[in-house]
Structure 1
Amino acid sequence: MGNLPHFQLFIDGVWTEGSASQVMTSQNPATGQGWATFACAAPSDVELAIAAAKRVLDDPEWRDMTQTQRGKLLYRLADLVAENAKRLGELETTDSGKLLAETSAQTGYVADYYRYYAGLADKIEGTVLPIDKPDMHVFTSREPIGVVAAIVPWNAQMFLTATKLGPALAAGCSVVLKASEIAPAPMLEFAKLIEQAGFPSGVVSVITGDAENCAIPLTRHPDVDRIAFTGGPETARHVVRNSAENFAVTSLELGGKSPILVFEDADMDGAANGLIAGNFGASGQSCVAGTRGLVHRSILGPLVERIAEKASAIRLGDPLQPETHVGPLCTAAQVRKIEETLSKARGQGATIHFGGNAADRPGNYMNPTLVECASPATETLKIEMFGPVMSLLPFDTEEEAIALANSTPYGLGSGVFTQNLARAHRVSKRVRAGICWVNTYRAISPIAPFGGFNQSGYGREAGVEAILDYTRTKTTWISTAQEPMANPFIMR
């Protein structure tokens, strides 16, 4: 183990092993072997990171920096991310099993998120109010919300970090970023770019560790003003309970069981590609995975054949190789969960058209799987499995399709495939989800906000409105009267 790459914590501008000197080993999902070690934060390290974040808010170097200057730092960070996209992608792939073709391309695109918020940094404006008192000049201004605890999972971590860090820094906040202890290497490496970009010490600290020693002390700390969390609903419930200790403004981007509705007039190739993208893309390890394929009964058979034909060309293999389409799952536990869920589905009458089992090779590989479900109660339609499993269920009418789409406690992503423009508008409006893709799937942009309904969370990331969530509104009243207050005992 002594020859493995090692990653340290980045706290208040200092690289450290942490006060407890606790070290964990990260597993390469493609081999099942340890490939790197990383330091873990103890509660005292969390305390140091938050103290630094609180201190720097009153440090003139950050506090008095103009919004335009903050934007220039973000532009510099964006350039560094783009320059190091391949290196960061390789680390993310080795650590999490996601395809290098996606991690490197996504990291390169993430630079545009930092550029987007760099451009917005000096466009956070207040308003002069047309107040109903002629001797008053009243205006609003937006100030940084304060110390932000940003918590990201192991999947799409460069992207999910940018959607939090970009607006937070543009608004003038300070951030303690917690990476997942499952695959933290790319985030700890990313901290080097924050340092190189020239942000003052303490503005951003990057830590990782388990729930008891890291996540809980972070989210319940009294000096944390804002929590931005992406993860699972069960963990989110703990985060919300912890936030009761500090009343931190909280946003939650959670998972889901996103529906993809395919109508009888849909382009078959487009629909098949959309379902494959929504289920086998990123090996199914996506919060917006379209794992509930709802298909008009008249085209279910032909669509299954089209998907099976396309799936036969899918290459399962080493995620570092450019020809690979589906790589390993991040953890062995995911493979076991999927196999258990598929076993229950078979018992409920589901038909497995292809796949249905773990691949016979080293690592955490699951064969791409297509399940035709016998009823809406089929287990694969209810459980978020985070793997390459597509479930299809037939419907007969538009009303039934909408009802099935909304028969879930979640509401993050959704898709509609139809060539009828009126239907596209009608159905996308009625599906209860924060995102609806029509005749496409898994498209993102820094300009477009995303987030969920119901148990998929609340709050929005990306887009203009996200930056406002990292500010507080201040209202300033200035009396222009020449005479003093007439009666101090009467509210004006």
Structure 2
Amino acid sequence: MPLERRLEFAAAFHRLLRERAEEVVGALVAEGHPVRVARWSLSAALDLTHPDTLAHARAAMRWEGEQRGRLVRLVRKPDGVVGLSPARNAPMLTALAAVPVLAGGNAVVLNAPPTVPLSTAYLFHRLVAPLLAGHGAPPGVLSVLCAPDRPTLRTWLASPDCDDVFFFGGPQQGADLARACLESGKKPVLELAGNDALVVWRDADLPRAADAAAERYHGSGQLCFAPKFALVHPAVADRFAALLHERVAALRIGPPEDPDVVLTPVVKRAQCADVLADAVAGGAELLCGGESVDVDGAPTPRGPFVRPVLLRVRGLERAATLRAVAEETFFPLMCLVVPDAPDGPGPDAPDPDEGLLDALIAFVNANRYGLRNSLWARDPRVVDRFADEVVNGGVLKVNDSHIGTLPVLPVIGGTGLSGGAHGEANVPILRTTRLQGISIGPSSPEPSDPAQRTAP
């Protein structure tokens, strides 16, 4: 099927998703997502198939030009059949990677998570499947299952008909799966974990930076690309901590249909308590939070919610030893890291902030994970250094929402423990296709000597 027709399917899905927006939000809320988080998910899904995103895909999928009297094409061809296993914490949004994968020319076998299948099943049965049929896709180009994850993955690995495994999950399971994929001749596309850094420089817009840092608590911190810790310039640390503390203390616990609620029940409550205890024992100051509570906010040891945790620790070396900074924390806990203030400069000394900037960039690059990073700074030199020198991560946001999405900008994808050895910013239509070069010579006879044929 021609690329233009496949992209028109994706464009039609975008229009239909916009038309059915309230139904989609309703399905997400019924599944337990707070309405504000549901609307954010919808916005990200719309950006995934935005007209500008599809225009970029069109340009990346096919290039044509003339070289030495020959027509040269660089085109991306589909890998074949892609098995897609979405994330349980954000099933609809991650499952919708199937739309650009289909637009790339692939067939998709999608396994809706059995614990949270509602929004995924709704979207693919009510929206995606009818659109595929209306655009002439053959039967079987999309299959939607709802089965246990591990046996399904084993089936895909064993099947000669499966070409790619597109997997959302934990780093250890992802590493094991990557090895199994390579042994089985499959391409692994891995979305595993996040431990995102948010950096606040001395000249940052502190209120807006605090708003971005508070995105940590969307879905009770159970989003892989929410900021997990903040590195704050010591000159503004007290003011920033006060602003963020005010925002965190104002977060309310309640039912998902409440438009002011962003917190959800926490799956890893015991791990949250362990990481909090480790941080305090390691010298971090607890500013607020940590209690288990019920849906009305009343403390109870068996409560499914956790009051949002905000920590503060001084020194990069100490922070690197804390689980709250070094590991992915999939619960509502954020650690503010304040580097030690540089010594006052002498009359001929260089700017002391230069060394601090070096240290912050090195700290971000040393993160074993690599999903997203964000920076708040006005100084163009600082912005340029981060943009040029931060090599860790699939996405870098500057003076913008950490979790916000944009057309063309990848939503997912990363390096290190976030995406594996082949990880990068993930554009699904590109990650599940492969590049092919084509040269078409003239139909008239040419010299038989290869040296003449290739002469400039």
Q: Which runs of no fewer than 5 residues in structure 2 stay unpaired?
A: 296-301, 342-355, 451-456
Question: Aligned AA for 1:452?
Answer: G
Question: Which of 428, 434, 438 in structure 1 is aligned with 2:394?
Answer: 434
Q: Deviations over 1:249-282 (max 9, x none)?
A: 33222222111111222222122212112x1123
The equivalent residue for 1:48 is: none
Q: Using a 3 Å threshold, how does the CA distance of structure 1 residues 483 and 476 change in structure 2: closer, same or farther?
A: closer
Could you tell me which residue of structure 1 aligns to residue 351 of structure 2? Answer: none
Distance 2:24 2:157 in 1: 27
Instruction: Judge conservation of contact 1:339–1:358 (CA < 8 Å) in 2.
Output: no
Q: CA RMSD in A?
A: 2.8
- Corresponding residue for 2:436? 473
Match of residue 393, structure 1, among 334, 337, 341: 337
AA matched with 1:267: D
Structure 1 counterpart SS, 2:199? strand
Deviation for aligned residue 1:363: 5.9
Measured in 2, the distance between the counterparts of 1:309 and 1:189 equals 38
- Distance change >3 Å, CA 177–CA 301, structure 1 → 2: same
Q: Give, in whole Å, the separation in 2 of the partners of 1:343 and 1:94.
A: 34
Aligned match for 2:312, one of 345, 358, 372: 372
Q: 1:349 aligns with which of 283, 297, 300?
A: 283
Write the letter of the residue equivalent to 1:110: A
Corresponding position: 1:86 with 2:18: no
Inter-partner Cα distance in structure 2 for 1:212 and 1:269: 44
1:273 to 211, 217, 232: 211
Kindly state the Cα deviation for residue 351 of structure 1 after the two structures are TM-superposed.
1.5
Counterpart CA distance in 2 for 1:165 and 1:233 is 22
Q: 1:474 to 1:344 in 2, by over 3 A?
A: same
What is the deviation of 1:137? 6.5
2:310–2:333 CA contact under 8 A, matched in 1: yes
Q: Is the 8 A contact 1:208 1:214 kept in 2?
A: no
Q: Do structure 1's residue 254 and structure 2's residue 254 form an aligned pair?
A: no
Q: CA deviation at 1:347?
A: 1.9
> CA deviation digits over 1:179-238, x for unaligned, max 9?
333322211122212222143421111223223321221244322222322322112112
| Whole-Å separation in 2 of the counterparts to 1:355 and 1:103 | 25
Question: Aligned-pair distance for 1:174?
Answer: 0.8
Partners of 2:141 and 2:336 lie apart in 1 by: 47
| Cα deviation 1:361-411 (Å, max 9, x = unaligned) | 486211111011352212211221212111011113222222322332111
Select between 425-434 and 350-359 the one with higher mean Cα deviation. 425-434
Task: Using structure 2 for the length normalisation, give the TM-score.
Answer: 0.81
Report % sequence identity: 24
Question: TM-score normalised to the size of structure 1?
Answer: 0.76
Equivalent pairs, count: 412
Change (3 A) 1:299 1:126: closer
Aligned to 1:445: 406
- Helix, strand or coil at the partner of 1:380: helix
Equivalent residue for 2:265, pick from 313, 328, 334: 328
Instruction: Please tell me whether the aligned partners of residues 86 and 104 of structure 1 are also in contact (alpha carbons under 8 angstroms).
Output: no
Give me the whole-angstrom Cα distance separating, in 2, the residues matched to 1:394 and 1:127: 51
User: Hey, what's the Cα distance between the residues in 1 that align with 2:408 and 2:212?
Assistant: 22
Are the aligned partners of 2:34 and 2:262 in contact in 1 as well (CA < 8 Å)? yes
- 5+ residue gaps, structure 1, are 1-64, 488-492
Amino acid aligned to 1:364: P
1:301 — aligned with what?
Answer: 238
SS in 1 for 2:33: coil
Take 2:7 and 2:71, find their aligned partners in 1: how far apart are those partners? 30
Match of 1:237 in 2: 175
1:454 aligns with 2:416: yes
Partner of 1:418: 377
Identify the residue that residue 250 of structure 2 maps to in structure 1. Answer: 313
User: Per the alignment, in what secondary structure is the counterpart of residue 237 of structure 1?
Assistant: helix
- Establish whether residue 73 from structure 1 lines up as the match of residue 9 from structure 2: yes
The aligned runs of 1:354-365 (5 Å cut-off) are 354-361=288-295, 364-365=304-305
Residue 176 (structure 1) aligned to one of 106, 109, 122? 109
